[in-house]
């Protein structure tokens, strides 16, 4: 319960801060923009916002989120597997059993926790593959150090979110003499579970395709002119880019929607993660649209004469 409450509070706080960053001038000019968006971001107006805006790390360090998240997810897979099939408690499970309480940790069946954990491991593993093999991050793109720590914390909390709210059903607070937890595999045939798995696969595929489209732009950029942003950034075309400004963000949101559906919209930590993802990526997508308009002017307007949704078709 304590860890669930802590994670939910942190995620909700981040959602509020993300919204504040859009409207509060100091935050807006210091931490909101990253990567290419810094080119068109508001200039810092105070010494404080200038100092905060200068605390940056390479944006290519996004890969650290996925390295750390993936290793942590594999470790949790191992601990949950040991708990279910051997009744042995690893260090994380032992700490939970000792310091936390089982309240609110029995809302999800064990099999759903296991499936959610597998899906989040797959998601972070695919992102790890993409950032290292598919994507072509630019050397000059940077992000504020706050983004770096938030990114690491976010993926860690989503790995926890996948199984924490069913931790009591997994046997975290049971003694090793109690019978091994039986997995109710019939749960896997429920319509919402099948729908969630299909949505997860569909959104994952489109996110991969969109990242490949962005990477292909980079591969076509001539090395001699790679320092000029006009050559390394172009207007992406194809797949969901025809209808949405940031379709890779839309796919990310749909992936968390699918995990929430899998947990019958009753997993508070996943719901808090989804809310943060929607707010954070909608704010960034809005800035991205502004960046495209400023960077490509009439060329951009003429490319999509019918306009595009920013990130959520039919809504924003």
Ligand X SMILES: NC(=O)c1ccc[n+]([C@@H]2O[C@H](COP(=O)([O-])OP(=O)(O)OC[C@H]3O[C@@H](n4cnc5c(N)ncnc54)[C@H](OP(=O)(O)O)[C@@H]3O)[C@@H](O)[C@H]2O)c1
**Whether the Cβ atoms of residue 259 and residue 120 lie closer than 8 Å to each other:** yes
Shortest Å, Cβ 59 to ligand X: 5
Q: Is 141 in the site for ligand X (CB under 6 A)?
A: yes
Shortest Å, Cβ 205 to ligand X: 13
Paired residues of 244 in beta bridges: 309
Q: Is 207 in the site for ligand X (CB under 6 A)?
A: yes
Ordered alpha helix ranges (H), the chain: 2-23, 25-27, 47-54, 62-86, 91-99, 110-129, 145-164, 167-170, 191-220, 229-232, 247-262, 268-303
DSSP 40: G
Window contacting ligand X (CB under 6 A); options: 85-93, 99-107, 135-143, 304-312? 135-143
State which residue, 188 or 239, has the beta carbon closest to ligand X.
239
Looking at residues 149 to 178 of the shown chain, list those that interact with ligand X (rule: CB under 6 A): 154
Binding residues for ligand X, rule CB under 6 A, total 22
Window contacting ligand X (CB under 6 A); options: 2-10, 161-169, 189-197, 211-219? 211-219
State which residue, 253 or 268, has the beta carbon closest to ligand X.
253
Give how far the C-alpha of residue 135 lies from the chain's centroid of Cα atoms, to the nearest Å: 16
Cα gap 192→199, rounded to integer Å:
10
State which residue, 35 or 171, has the beta carbon closest to ligand X.
35
Question: CB 149: neighbour CB atoms within 10 A?
Answer: 11
State which residue, 146 or 234, has the beta carbon closest to ligand X.
234
Cα gap 250→286, rounded to integer Å:
12
Binding site for ligand X (CB under 6 A): 35-36, 59, 62, 135, 137-138, 141, 154, 207, 214, 217-218, 233-234, 236, 248-249, 252, 277, 280-281
């Amino acid at each position: 319960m304590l860890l669930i409450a802590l994670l939910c509070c942190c995620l909700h706080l981040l959602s509020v801060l993300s919204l504040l960053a859009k409207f509060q001038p100091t935050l807006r000019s210091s931490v909101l923009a990253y990567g290419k968006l810094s080119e068109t971001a508001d200039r810092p107006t105070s010494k404080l916002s200038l100092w905060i805006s200068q605390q940056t790390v390479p944006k290519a360090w996004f890969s650290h989120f996925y390295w750390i998240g993936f290793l942590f997810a594999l470790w949790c897979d191992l601990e949950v597997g040991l708990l279910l099939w051997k009744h042995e408690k690893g260090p994380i499970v032992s700490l939970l059993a000792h310091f936390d309480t089982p309240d609110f940790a029995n809302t999800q069946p064990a099999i759903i926790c296991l499936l959610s954990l597998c899906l989040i491991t797959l998601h972070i593993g695919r992102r790890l593959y993409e950032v290292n093999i598919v994507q072509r991050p630019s050397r000059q793109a940077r992000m504020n150090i706050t983004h770096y720590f938030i990114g690491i914390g976010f993926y860690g909390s989503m790995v926890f979110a996948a199984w924490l709210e069913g931790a009591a059903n997994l046997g975290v607070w049971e003694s090793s003499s109690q019978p091994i937890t039986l997995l109710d595999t019939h749960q896997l045939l429920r319509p919402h579970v099948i729908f969630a798995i299909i949505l997860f696969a569909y959104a994952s595929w489109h996110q991969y395709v969109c990242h490949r489209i962005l990477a292909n732009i980079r591969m076509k950029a001539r090395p001699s002119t790679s320092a000029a942003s006009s050559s390394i950034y172009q207007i992406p075309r194809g797949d969901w880019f025809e209808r949405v400004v940031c379709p890779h963000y839309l796919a990310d949101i749909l992936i968390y929607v699918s995990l929430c559906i899998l947990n019958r919209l009753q997993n508070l930590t996943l719901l808090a993660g989804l809310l943060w993802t929607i707010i954070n990526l909608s704010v960034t997508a809005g800035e991205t649209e502004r960046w495209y308009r400023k960077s490509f002017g009439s060329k951009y307007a003429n490319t999509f004469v019918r306009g595009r949704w920013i990130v959520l078709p039919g809504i924003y």
